[in-house]
Amino acid sequence: MKKGAVAVFLILLVIIAASFYPVTQNSTINIDATFDNTFLQVLHIDKWKNWYPEIKQAYKENPASYHISTDSSKKIDTISIPGKKIIVHAVTPMAYDVTETGDHSKSFAFTVFPGTNAGKMKIFFERKVPLLTTLFQKNTDAENPLEGLKSYLETPLEFYGYNIKMAQIRDPTIASLVMKIGEKDIFTKMKNARQELMEYLKDNQLQKTGVISVSYIPLQKDSIQLTVGIPVDRIAAPEKNIQCLSLPAKGRVLVANYTGLFSQRIKIYQAMTKYLTDHTLSIPAESFERYLNDSLPTSDSSEIKMELNYPVY
């Protein structure tokens, strides 16, 4: 009996020791993102609210509960959120030690590295955990805040503000009307162009197969090249300034939807331009807007719902 009791005691002693004995746990996170985008999200501590899970959630629920303070060395920042503080020590612009204080304190370190190819990044993550944790907890990704950075950078809706994605050309055949106009006449000319196109469809017995689209190309002296198009079921002979265009049926387009004021749609153009640059995509043709409710804007203050298309290769 005594030997058995001693054995049980020794086993319990080993378990208790394992509960506190720290071991180093390393992992590497691969991120599909540019160096600049990754570096800026890490370097600027105020951007951590975009991706660090606890900070992001607290800021979303109540921005006023979130606060950043910096020490005199300008290398240690403290992010305060309800029930927790995250202390961030910038060892170098690419390496950080992080300590969380609160109900469940923890600390870790990470270093950001460029990947082997353009548009790829690596983050080396290191933390000390009790030995017992490594024996019984197999998947620790959910506890790694840097997984939040990966998700943020790789999700277009999160990072760019729009659900940008690759698609195939929706309308392979389009009856289009091209004109050079003064910028102030844009809404009147669009309306007139639509009427001309509908008459062309009727005269040539063409079937309308989709929503109206418009392309705007800025020219000199407050003028633009306006192209209005209506998708049709087949090619017909050109007439006046209208002709049918045949687009590659399997051509690729980068698309994203925008809902809001016509005058503010510049925001989606800026997001798409950055996406194109980040992903080194080339544009063989001009972008165009597909008005999803088949309704053209009548003024800058018109509410529109459109899909922005960028042909790419």
DSSP symbol at 207: P
**The amino acid at 204:** N
Domain ranges of the chain: 21-154, 165-311
* Cβ neighbours around 59 below 10 Å, total: 18
Q: Do 244 and 174 touch, CB atoms closer than 8 A?
A: yes
Strands (DSSP E) contained in 158-269 are 165-168, 173-182, 213-218, 223-231, 242-246, 252-261
pLDDT tens, N- to C-terminus, the chain (313 residues): 566 666 666 666 555 555 555 667 889 999 999 999 999 999 999 999 999 999 999 999 999 999 999 999 889 999 999 999 999 999 999 999 999 998 778 899 999 999 988 899 999 999 876 555 554 555 454 578 999 999 999 999 999 999 999 999 999 999 999 999 999 999 999 999 999 999 999 999 999 999 999 999 999 888 999 999 999 999 999 998 999 999 887 889 999 999 999 999 999 999 999 999 999 999 988 999 999 999 999 999 999 999 999 999 8
Contact 302, 258 (CB under 8 A): no
Q: Which of these, 170, 164, 186, lies nearest to 290 by C-alpha position?
A: 170
Domain 165-311 is of which CATH architecture? Alpha-Beta Barrel (3.20)
- Size (the chain), residues: 313
Nearest to 53 by CA among 94, 81, 92: 81
C-alpha 71/C-alpha 89 separation (Å) is 10
CATH class label, 21-154 = alpha beta
Report the distance separating Cα 301 and Cα 262, nearest Å.
6
Judged by phi (left if over 0) then psi (alpha if -120 to 50, else beta), residue 102 lies in left
232 beta partners: 208
3-state helix, strand, coil in the chain (%, to 5): 35, 40, 30
Same fold: 21-154 with 165-311 = no
What is d(CA 254, CA 277) in angstroms, rounded to the nearest whole number? 12
pTM: 0.84
Strand partners, 95: 92, 111
